[in-house]
Amino acid sequence: MVLKVRKKVTALPGCPMSKCMDLLGGCWTPEVLWSLSEGPRRFSELRRDCPFISAKVMTSRLRDLEQRGVLSRKVMPTSPPTVEYALTELGKELLPAIRSIVDVGTRLLLRDPTP
């Protein structure tokens, strides 16, 4: 499941869908947010949650989302250093949309169990 967003196109002014997709769009973004919906997670945990996302993309997705204020990144002073990602308030606003997508997907799987 790959979802991309082109960076040069910003949200259409005043368009709700655009506003939301500007944060949700981007390859694997929904998966990452879904993983974080249960609570904070570390980088390696996210990687294990979504083994199909390469490290490079995972990193860039997390950086994007951090910059847009959707999630926070906290480096713990441990050794080896661990990093904790968590949804911000803004990020939590996105959850209803994510849940709805998952709900619809679940219903689709019930009606047609092929992959």
Partner DNA sequence: TTTTCCAGTAACCAGATGGAAACTGCCAAC
Partner DNA sequence: GTTGGCAGTTTCCATCTGGTTACTGGAAAA
Smallest gap from residue 67 Cβ to DNA (A): 13
C-alpha distances in Å from residue 56, one per residue of 25, 61, 78: 17, 9, 23
Q: Which residues contact DNA (rule: CB under 7 A)? A: 2, 4-9, 26-27, 42-45, 52-57, 59-60, 62-63, 73, 79-83
Smallest gap from residue 6 Cβ to a second copy (A): 4
Report yes or no: 69 and 63 within 8 Å, Cβ to Cβ: no
Smallest gap from residue 74 Cβ to a second copy (A): 24
- Closer to a second copy by CB, 77 or 112: give it: 112
- Closer to a second copy by CB, 17 or 76: give it: 17
Q: How far apart are CA 37 and CA 101, in angstroms?
A: 14
Report yes or no: 63 and 32 within 8 Å, Cβ to Cβ: no
Q: How far apart are CA 66 and CA 85, in angstroms?
A: 9
Q: Which residues contact a second copy (rule: CB under 8 A)? A: 1-6, 9-25, 30-31, 34, 52, 90, 93-94, 96-109, 111, 115
